[in-house]
Amino acid sequence: MLPGPSAKDTSTPAARPAAPDPGPGPGSAPGPGRGSARTAGLVAGGALVALLVALFGAGVAARGTGELRIPAAGATTALRTVVFAALALHLGELAGVRLARTGPVPRSLASAAALTGAAGAAGQIVLLAGVSGLDITDVYGTVEGRLLLVMANGFLLAAGCVALRRPGLAVLPLAVVIGAEALRAHPEPYTPMLGAALTVVHLSAAALWCGGLLHVLGTMWLRRADPAGARAVLARYARLAGWLLAALVTTGTVSTLRRLPVDVVLTTAYGRVLIAKLLLVALAAGLALAARGRLRAARGDATAPAHAELAVLALVLLLSAILTVVPDPHWLSVR
């Protein structure tokens, strides 16, 4: 039979009740609640800035150019930004799942993205009807109305693929959406099919770059307990991003030479927005190279420049939507 504790034993520090936790000191790191609140605040602030740029960006860029005002330019930009973001989220998730291979991945946003994209395309149909003074059925008789209808139905089919647990099949209707947007964005009579083909490659690469990075960063967060595995996912994405950047630069350069005469670069809204977009793409490429350098050297936090790269790419997506709204500068050249 074991002896019980004596009175002296019960007075030792091990037997005394623990003192209450005074909580984090003033110099300690913020807790999870504070971090979540800060992240939510940054997201809300970024969304507000993006909305303001979408609503007023085209008007500000056209100030002093003498170009005609585009009706409902702000609302159109906002809706096209929604469509581009939906494409990026859905295509990026499809690519990100393949890059992640085995292991935990973020919760799927494909269905919500597809439905949001359908709403964005349908909203453009309603807006077009309001601006043109046509009925909805008459809008479908126009080329732009039919293409927007194809885009809305393509997004709905993509959402159906997700609902039927065949997410990979969503690539087909999403390809139709990209093709319809490319045709809608290049109605010019001079070599329209070449312009549409360039836009298909450009828009696909941009969506995969932005959306794929978002999904990869989410995957890395879920696998943070395995730093080596998380960095391997980012490394696989970095190799893909190199090809995407090459495609963006090539198609963007050719499209610029086709649509933007040199003598109106600074005197048109299209030229001004394009310059801002090119600067942001260069910044995103620099951040991508910084992240890749840290990966190769196996030192530092490679996700820090990757998060900054994602924020810059979101702005690039927004400026791309503005470019589809401002007037085509080809006819303004004095040459």
Domain extents in the chain: 71-328
Q: Dump pLDDT digits (tens) for 239-262.
A: 999 999 999 999 988 888 887 778
Max CA distance (Å), the chain: 107
Mean pLDDT on 182-195: 77
pLDDT for 25: 42
User: Which two structure tokens, joined as six digits, stand for 267?
Assistant: 């005197």
Mean pLDDT on 165-191: 88
Helix (H) or strand (E) holding 304, with range, is helix 303-323
Mean pLDDT on 99-109: 92
Mean pLDDT of the chain: 84
pLDDT for 10: 42
Mean pLDDT on 255-279: 86
pLDDT for 334: 43
Q: How far is CA 83 from the centre of its chain?
A: 10
Helix (H) or strand (E) holding 61, with range, is helix 32-61
Q: How far apart are CA 183 and CA 192, in angstroms?
A: 8
**pLDDT confidence band for 76 (50 / 70 / 90):** very high
Q: How far apart are CA 24 and CA 286, in angstroms?
A: 38
Supply the pTM of this predicted model: 0.84
pLDDT for 34: 62
Q: How far apart are CA 284 and CA 115, in angstroms?
A: 29
User: Which two structure tokens, joined as six digits, stand for 14?
Assistant: 């091990």
Least confident of 12-21, 125-134, 148-157: 12-21
Q: How far apart are CA 63 and CA 269, in angstroms?
A: 8
